[in-house]
Structure 1
Amino acid sequence: MPHITLDSDEPGIRGLFRFRPETARPLNELVEVLLRDDSTLTRGERELIAAYVSALNECKYCYSAHAAYAAAQLPEGMDLVERVRDDLGAAPVSDKLRALLGIAGHVQQSGRRVTEDDVAAARATGATDREIHDAVLIAAAFCMYNRYVDGLATFAPDDPASYASRAERIAADGYLALLADSQ
């Protein structure tokens, strides 16, 4: 039961967006830039970073949603998402992505946990300054989104299909199109 009375029975952040639509647009614009704009990291890889941080934060709604969105955009699908969540060290990802996910995990704990050694290790795998920047910003943003969703005790469906049904729309048209549909 949410801590406040929402104008909608939509789950997670979607209900919060209906409650304060004036905040929905900038929050969606940020996620659109971070997860969908042109980048040397694929959309699936960036969604994976969002899902990984959300899993570390134990945010059921955000993890489930972004795990589904990542799975829809990664050739290895949900199996890879779950393997990263369960054991990043053993997950079958590139060294570069593992280093960026490691940095994101440190950001989830505290921005100050990211060390020069972490950044040097990421660079040694071929990560660019932009990729390192974006991994940090995705992690920081998802800490905020996770705390927004859980801090107001929003509803998170148990059925994975409720998240997967939106994944194809996100992959095809993005967050702003989905927001426009709901308003």
Structure 2
Amino acid sequence: MSQPAADRFPTPALEKLPADIRERILAVQEKSGFVPNVFLTLACRPEEFRAFFAYHDALMERDSGLTKAEREMIVVATSAANQCHYCVVAHGAILRIRAKNPLVADQIAINYRKADISPRQRAMLDFAMKVSRAAQDISEQDFTEVSRHGFSDDDIWDIAAIAAFFALSNRMANVTGMRPNDEFYLMGRLPK
């Protein structure tokens, strides 16, 4: 019988982590009320943890032509296509909160083409999905189509980078057997 991934890659004790990583995890815990499992799972490799979250923050927190909700839409749609349980649930929760819409994350995770989103957002997700599933087939026609919806070259880079980064994240979450925290399931579903 094979060893479960969660046993193969055990999470380190918080008190044994480098100070900067421990401080970041405690700050997240203070803000959200719990420690998302991704932080503890990736903390077993401190240098990679730092690099991962530096790039995550550069992509997901910057101001640009994409809203924070649209960035989360990309994560949810591509993570669903990559069958990443953790990212669909965790980023679905963030999407519900950022979009102020309790339905949108589930709609996008199941079939973004039928979700209650704008034609602009659908074009964004079409491009992101192609990056995620068949980047080798990206052509000038793809750039023309997404640009037609008002996305700048900088926005298109963001769409592609988010889809590509979360392909890495999806694969690591699956390999490590990362499970979404129970808290994510209810977040953003009921008005406060």
Class of the TM-score when normalised by the shorter of the 2 chains = 0.7 to 0.9
Contact 1:11 1:155 in 2 (8 A): no
- The equivalent residue for 1:74 is 99
May I ask how many residue pairs the two structures share in their alignment? 163
The separation in 1 between residues aligned to 2:158 and 2:174, in whole angstroms, is 24
Query: What TM-score comes out, normalization by structure 1 length?
Result: 0.79
- The equivalent residue for 1:151 is 175
Alignment of 1:1-183 (within 5 A): 1=4, 2=6, 3-8=8-13, 12-75=37-100, 77-157=101-181, 159=182, 161-162=183-184
1:146 Cα offset (Å): 0.7
Q: Which amino acid aligns with 1:100?
A: M
Q: Alpha carbons of 1:31 and 1:110: their partners in 2 closer, same or farther (altered >3 Å)? A: same
Q: Which has the larger radius of gyration?
A: 2
The separation in 1 between residues aligned to 2:12 and 2:185, in whole angstroms, is 21
Unmatched segments (≥5 aa) in structure 2 = 15-34
Task: Calculate percent identity across the aligned residue pairs.
Answer: 27
The separation in 2 between residues aligned to 1:93 and 1:125, in whole angstroms, is 13
What secondary structure, in the 3-state scheme, does the structure 2 residue paired with 1:87 have? helix
Deviation string for 1:94-134 (max 9, x for gaps)? 22211111111111113113232221111111111111111
What secondary structure, in the 3-state scheme, does the structure 1 residue paired with 2:43 have? helix
Q: Alpha carbons of 1:18 and 1:163: their partners in 2 closer, same or farther (altered >3 Å)? A: farther
The separation in 2 between residues aligned to 1:108 and 1:31, in whole angstroms, is 16
Unmatched segments (≥5 aa) in structure 1 = 168-183
**Higher relative contact order at CA 8 Å, sep ≥6: structure 1 or structure 2?**
1
The separation in 2 between residues aligned to 1:91 and 1:108, in whole angstroms, is 19
- The equivalent residue for 2:20 is none
RMSD: 2.2
What secondary structure, in the 3-state scheme, does the structure 2 residue paired with 1:131 have? helix
Deviation string for 1:57-94 (max 9, x for gaps)? 1111111111111111103x230122122222222222
1:8 Cα offset (Å): 5.0
Contact 1:96 1:125 in 2 (8 A): yes
The separation in 2 between residues aligned to 1:13 and 1:113, in whole angstroms, is 31
Deviation string for 1:119-175 (max 9, x for gaps)? 111111111111111111000000001111111223334x3x34666x8xxxxxxxx
